[in-house]
């Protein structure tokens, strides 16, 4: 594996999947002698907050939560009745 001119490396998919490294996952680097360790960050992630901030104001339906829930419940009950 090589480091690019920008200092980037690709973490193999098998490793990313094994420890749950998804896009935007915060990571930490630790030095131990001449070795570098990579781990998921233990500090609180901003990922959820960033997602909510990005979606805020994007809804186009002007319905109350109760109205939306009523529609959802109606559709679910129809699906369970075999119609």
Q: In angstroms, rounded to a whole number, what is the distance separating the alpha carbons of residues 29 and 8?
A: 13
Tell me the average pLDDT across 23-45. 86
Tell me the average pLDDT across 35-40. 91
Q: What is the CA radius of gyration of the chain?
A: 22
pLDDT at 75 over 80: no
Domain spans in the chain, listed from the N-terminal domain onward: 13-80
Tell me the percentage of the chain whose pLDDT exceeds 90: 34
Q: In angstroms, rounded to a whole number, what is the distance separating the alpha carbons of residues 82 and 41?
A: 47
Instruction: Output 28 or 24, whichever has higher pLDDT.
Output: 28
| 18: three-class secondary structure by DSSP | helix
Contact status, residue 43 vs residue 26, Cβ threshold 8 Å: yes
Instruction: Output 45 or 16, whichever has higher pLDDT.
Output: 16
Q: In angstroms, rounded to a whole number, what is the distance separating the alpha carbons of residues 83 and 68?
A: 21
Q: What is the pLDDT of residues 44-72, one digit of tens each?
A: 667 777 888 888 888 788 888 899 899 88
């Amino acid at each position: 594996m090589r480091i690019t001119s920008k200092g980037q490396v690709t973490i193999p998919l098998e490793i990313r999947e094994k420890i749950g490294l998804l896009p935007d996952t915060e990571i930490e680097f630790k030095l131990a002698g001449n070795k570098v360790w990579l781990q998921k960050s233990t500090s609180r992630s901003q990922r959820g907050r960033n997602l909510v901030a990005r979606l805020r104001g994007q809804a186009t339906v002007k319905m109350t939560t109760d109205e939306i829930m009523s529609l959802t419940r109606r559709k679910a009950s129809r699906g369970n009745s075999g119609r």
